[in-house]
Amino acid sequence: MNRSLSELSLMIFNWVDSNGLRNSVFTVYELCHGNLTEVEEFHGVPTKSMKRALKILERQVGLNDDETGVKFS
């Protein structure tokens, strides 16, 4: 995948929103490699890139994250 971090964060947010997954908690591993994301373009991105994209989402939409998981509010 050759996308900017902003594009990656938007893809993740759109996936959460369109699948009714707000208020769900995911690990970074689940987002990168989980069954629910297998058909998504962001599936398989490096963990480091995913964490950076999630930081963008944290600033933009107020998602809650810690070292073990991410909650999309």
pLDDT tens-digit map of 1-38: 568 999 999 999 999 999 999 888 899 999 999 999 99
With a CB cutoff of 8 Å and minimum separation 6, the contacts of 11 are: 3, 40, 41, 42
- Predicted confidence at residue 6, as pLDDT, reads 93
pTM of the model: 0.83
Q: Which residue has the tokens 């599936």?
A: 43
- Domain residue extents for the chain: 5-72
Q: Topology of domain 5-72, per CATH?
A: Arc Repressor Mutant, subunit A (1.10.10)
What does the alpha-carbon distance between residue 64 and residue 73 come to, in Å, rounded to a whole number? 7
Tell me how far CA of residue 49 lies from CA of 1, 2, 19, 38, 55, in angstroms: 11, 11, 22, 17, 10
